[in-house]
Structure 1
Amino acid sequence: MSVILGISAYYHDAAAALLVNGEIEAAAQEERFSRQKHDAGFPRHAIEYCLAEAGLQLSDVDAVVFYDKPLVKFERLLETYLANVPQGFRSFVAAMPVWLKDKLYLKTTLKQELSALSGLKKRELPKLLFSEHHRSHAASAFYPSPFERAAVLCLDGVGEWATTSVWLGEQARLTPLWEIDFPHSLGLLYSAFTYYAGFKVNSGEYKLMGLAPYGDPKYADLIFDHLIDLKEDGTFHLNMKYFDYATGLTMTNRAFDELFGAPPRQAESEIRQRDMDIAASIQVVTEEVVMRLAKTIHQELNVDQLCLAGGVALNCVANGKLLREGPFEKIWIQPAAGDAGGALGAALVAWHDYHGAARIPVRPDAMKGAYLGPRFSSEEIKRYLDGIDAPYEEIEDNELMERLAGLLSEENIIGWFQGRMEFGPRALGGRSIIGDPRSPRMQSVMNLKIKYRESFRPFAPAVKHDKVSEWFVHEGASPYMLIVAPVQESKRLPSDGDEDHLFGVQKLNVPRSEIPAVTHVDYSARVQTVHPETNPRFYYLLDAFERRTGCPILVNTSFNVRGEPIVCTPQDAYRCFMRTEMDYLVMENILLCKERQPAWKENGDWRQEFELD
């Protein structure tokens, strides 16, 4: 038996992933256990979970693989500083203590942490290997994909040096072809606009994408003329005159502010039309870069399949356009496309590159629906609820699904906790909050009373996979909520012509389709197809809802509040249920009604517990 443990840590989104004989046994982000969103620390809890899931100890592991090479990253830091002396001295001084304490001596740090976790002496620890950052991304994209041969495109902020990389995947081999290096980065360009729009970098990019349809891309030409020199083949250079991320402590600078005529928006301040236009503009630019790169890669490699990873691969609007209008017949995107997925990619690098293991592609893919985290039995759930005197009902599946379908059709909002927790940033029917997409009030109620977040943010539809094309302009699977598609014309509502006078997010309250709660202002939706092979209970719930209402769709949003990681345990789920205005909570076969629960008491305002994202 071969056991490989992959780790990502110390930058953002720490995670662990475990391969047993090349099969993905378990994977999870540290944030789900520590309850600190984007936790970057050593993923102790995630490692302990992965080993426990497989019934193994660290002593059973053959190799531990870290997802990038810190010394090469340190080289980039030094070279960037030396190339810009004396600029950047403040950021260099700020970074050095962290590097000299932890990151530069990462091999020693990792061995200390692994030894403390396992009780093993350092000489007894598994072999410690290091993968390159973009190779980890590429491996996470290609090896679990269903393709025997495919182009691989990795787009993120920055790894060691690479920000964009192109690979050819063939059977069990990944061949690097070319790359674009720091500081020229599509991910950092998008993050610069995230910062400028008043959102948190490495967290608020989703908001920028969600805000874009409210605006007009008025600034796209300004971006192309001044910020990015985009070639016909998709390669690009950024004009570093306008950015501070290479040498300073912020993403943009005064020259950037002067170019756009205002300083960055203050976080949590009112969102203006210009902010929406800024968001629309950088989204258009991002899509253009991705489309040009895709056309070039397709021509160069003469393949019809494309795999994507890296943080930019989470831009589901660009992914949808690439699928509909791009040159590739099929695309596959790693659901944990960011740094968390690097842990899985690192383990796969060791399995295929280091051990030379063969690869047989699995259909639909090798990710098991991304349901790779912890699960809890009804008995474990009941023990917890009995311990806190929470009243509940235990109901068999057939009756439960019919009951839930009725509750949902009456506009109740339900916490849905079942099976294994998802790996990656999306809730996919394991740790979800669900509602009726036909309800015109559902979107605003969920945002303001459940998630406690900005009202403009859209929700996603979870749809039975065999009904997706009846409701959306999309064919085939989209199990990971990584493709945006238009709502079918036949499901749209005619416009009454009164929208012209509405401003920005006021347009949100205009019903646009038969499923207004999941239809964005541009008639788009971030589609998740649900499959009985990977999540039978969620599929059967959708089926019961369709039998009752004629609609095979539910609103699906992550089971958390703003700033909180997605819930992991029954304790997390019950706490979130009681803190919000959810009506019901179902955990496996256990149903709880909010009205019957004992009064919830906490010291102080729990909303101060989580840092806003």
Structure 2
Amino acid sequence: MLILGISAFYHDSAAALVRDGQIVAAAQEERFTRKKHDPSFPSNAVAYCLEEAGCRMADIDHVVFYDKPILKFERLLETYLATVPRGFRSFRTAIPVWVKEKLFQKGMLRKKLGEIDGVKSWEGSLLFTEHHQSHAASAFFASPFKSAAVLTMDGVGEWCTTSLGHGRENQLDILKEIRFPHSLGLLYSAFTYYTGFKVNSGEYKVMGLAPYGKPVYAQKILDNIMDLKDDGSFRLDQKYFNYCTGLTMTSSAFHELFDGEPRKPETPLTQREMDLAASVQLVTEEAVSRLARFAREVTGERQLCLAGGVALNCVANGKLLKEGVFDDIWIQPAAGDAGGALGAALAVWHQYLGEERKTNGKDFMEGSYLGPAFEQSEIEKRLSNAGAVFDVLSDDDMISTTADALAEEKAVGWMQGRMEFGPRALGGRSILGDPRSPTMQKTLNLKVKYRESFRPFAPSVRREDVSDWFDLDTDSPYMLLVAEVLERRRYTPNQDEKELFGIDLLNVPRSEVPAITHVDYSARVQTVHKETNPRYWKLLTEFKSRTDCPVLVNTSFNVRGEPIVCTPEDAFHCFMGTEIERLVVGNCVMRKEDQPAHLKKDYKEEFELD
């Protein structure tokens, strides 16, 4: 039985293929089109999934779309009618698109699917799940748990913005919902917009900025904007927002409450933006904590599964784990809309078809390495055609050479095996660095990623070494938990350093691994497991043998505004457009100084800013 899941037409389009309940492949469309957050129909991602499975569209038993367009259209119409005449401008922008395209989505989907096989229309079984059903299914059915509480939180699906579910074996029941316009995701996005970042893209920047500030506005948010109850339910006062009736996120009342207009993108950050970020982050953490406590009470479960865009807030996740409300938490690595494609396919297998789950204590994501891989011979051919100059080394020599370069504080582009599914690079498509270097964070931000200097970097650490460096002793393979660097690894600040605040904290070395230690001593930890990524685990082992440090800086292999690289050519072009000093693709090793000068690019202006 082959089930193809699709998410599309909002942001982060993706496709996922499930065969007899096992995940065969999953990928986002942006990785193929090179357009960040590409919302278009995922033709390339579908074609890849079919190729990986060795089948054609004619072989697919069910195609399932990740939400229900008619319900979403109903929400839009009801919202516009409830806010007449204020919503007319937004109505005038959105409705023609819906009438032309989205109301007739069945026909459009069949046409697009048919084009992949070169026929006029695909005439197989076409199903639709609800948006938060897709999120919940991606969380529970892919998890290692036989039963669990399930929380999904995002901006909005059809009507639902937050759901509480209960998963048992192959059953998944949604018990409670919070509905639009009351949304934790849209609250966070409003502050993303107000602090000058891009909605549906810059939320993680707000999370990274928060430790530079103080939550001085948190009570103002709770007193005026958000009525947060003990059970985690909430209501948002809509006079402070503009997402129902306008084309922006915040209203004049919001601007008056916080004493100013939104920050203009790319202008200097001030302490005010840092304090706003700290405030909405604290409120979000409190809401998530209360929702989780209520989920524990209602379901009686000791395990929790999370999905939806808010589940990518790894700071909130880490604090929730530390609270001990649940014994174990599992977060879908593709928690956003891309993961809805996978959840929709799993929902059909277990809920629509009633097929059993076969849990064995491991999750079903295969380390989230579900995208394309390239054979060594193909890598060499592609790199040669791109003009690259490289050495082909044995496995041991490749690992040894890379570990040497990292110990010499060189930035290394690292492309190995299958591409990751979800927003995080997990050692398949990564830029690596030495975490002991006091200048590595600034170098990678300004000279490699071409992004804001305040942005933190994540550590990869061997699973068996994690508790020796971080206040964490559990699996975190998907970089979705934040934990503090252990006190014995930290440096004690001097008196002058203690008096610093805001962005001035950036240049203060805080631990033995300053490049991955945020200003509050936190780190977004990825545990690396020998079973799921043996090459990356071996590289960490070799680096440890040279430096006594089993940790590496791991950031996604791309520049600001660019999707993570997919192919050897993508990797080489990014290598040549930045100040990355070494590139390792499969067993091919490249040094920047050996490359033809005419192939150098300037990636600073290559992609639209995120």
What's the TM-score once normalised by structure 2's chain length? Answer: 0.99
Conserved in 1, the CA contact under 8 Å of 2:153 and 2:184? yes
Map 1:228-307; keep pairs closer than 5 Å: 228-307=226-305
Structure 1 partner of 2:155: 157
Does structure 2 conserve the Cα–Cα contact (< 8 Å) formed by 1:18 and 1:24? yes
Secondary structure of residue in 2 paired with 1:17: strand
Aligned residue runs from structure 1 range 305-324, under 5 A: 305-324=303-322
Match of 2:420 in 1: 422
Q: How does 1:426-445 map to 2 (within 5 A)?
A: 426-445=424-443
Quick one: which of 598, 605, 609 aligns to 2:606?
Answer: 609
Distance in 2 of aligned mates of 1:49 and 1:267:
36
Distance in structure 1 (CA, Å) of the matches to 2:297 and 2:550? 39
Give the match for residue 41 of structure 1. Answer: 40
What is the distance in 2 between the residues matched to 1:389 and 1:449? 23
CA contact 1:37–1:564 (8 Å) conserved in 2 = yes
Taking the aligned partners of 1:93 and 1:575, their CA distance within structure 2 comes to: 41
Partner SS for 1:477: coil
SS, match of residue 546 in structure 1: helix
2:603, 2:595 → 1: CA distance? 19
Structure 1 residues 11-30: aligned runs within 5 Å: 11-30=10-29
Q: How many correspondences in the alignment? A: 610
Alpha-carbon shift at residue 144 of structure 1 (Å): 0.8
CA–CA separation in structure 2 for the residues paired with 1:298 and 1:385: 52
User: Which residue of structure 2 lines up, in the alignment, with residue 132 of structure 1?
Assistant: 130
Q: 1:212 aligns with which of 210, 213, 223?
A: 210
Q: Deviations over 1:62-88 (max 9, x none)?
A: 010000000000000000111111111
2:496 is paired with a residue of what secondary structure? coil
Say if 1:601 and 1:587 are closer, same or farther in 2 by CA, change over 3 A. closer
CA shift digits 1:462-499 (9 cap, x unpaired): 00000000000001100000000000011001111212
* Superposition map of 1:450-469 within 5 A: 450-469=448-467
Closer/same/farther in 2, CA of residues 190 and 388 from structure 1, 3 Å limit: closer
* Structure-2 residue corresponding to 1:351: 349
For structure 2, the residue ranges without an aligned partner over 5 or more in a row are: none
2:488 maps to amino acid? S
Whether the 8 Å contact between 2:577 and 2:600 is mirrored in structure 1 is no
1:374 pairs with 2:372: yes
Q: Counterpart of 1:89?
A: 88
Residue in structure 2 matched with residue 447 of structure 1 by the alignment:
445
The residue number in structure 1 matching 2:117 is 118
**1:100 aligned residue:** 99
CA shift, 1:385, in A, is 2.2
Equivalent AA in structure 1 for residue 474 of structure 2: G
Is 1:390 the counterpart of 2:369 in the alignment? Answer: no
Q: Which deviations, in whole Å up to 9, do the C-alpha atoms of 1:415-441 show, x marking residues without a partner?
A: 000100000000000000000000000
Q: Secondary structure at the match of 1:285?
A: helix
Secondary structure class of the residue paired with 1:420? coil
Aligned-partner residue type, residue 35 of structure 1: R
1:5 matched to which residue of 2?
A: 4
Partner of 1:50: 49
Give, in whole Å, the separation in 2 of the partners of 1:34 and 1:391.
26
Match of 1:59 in 2: 58
Match of residue 72 from structure 2: 73
* Paired residue type of 2:201: S
Which 10-residue stretch deviates more, 113-122 or 184-193? Answer: 113-122
Q: Distance in 1 between matches of 2:219 and 2:132?
A: 31
1:194 is matched by which residue type in structure 2? Answer: T
- 2-structure distance, mates of 1:386, 1:293: 54
Contact persistence 2:430–2:554 (CA under 8 A): yes
SS in 2 for 1:461: strand
- How much is the aligned-residue C-alpha RMSD, in angstroms? 1.0
Q: Is there any run of 5+ residues in structure 1 with no aligned partner, and where? A: none
- Structure 1 residue 501, shift from structure 2 partner: 4.5
List 4+ stretches of structure 1 deviating above 6 A: none
Tell me the CA shift for residue 57 of structure 1: 0.4
Counterpart of 1:61, as a letter, is I
C-alpha distance in structure 2 between counterparts of 1:378 and 1:357, whole Å: 38
Q: CA deviation at 1:609?
A: 3.1
Give the equivalent residue in structure 2 for 1:512.
Answer: 510
Identity %: 62
CA distance, structure 2, for counterparts of residue 400 and residue 606 of structure 1: 27
- Alignment-mate amino acid for residue 611 of structure 1: E
Q: Deviations over 1:513-554 (max 9, x none)?
A: 000000000000000000011000000000000011000000
Partner of 1:548: 546
Quickly say closer, same or farther: Cα 1:499–1:612, change in 2 above 3 A: same
Q: How far has the Cα of 1:500 moved from its partner?
A: 4.2
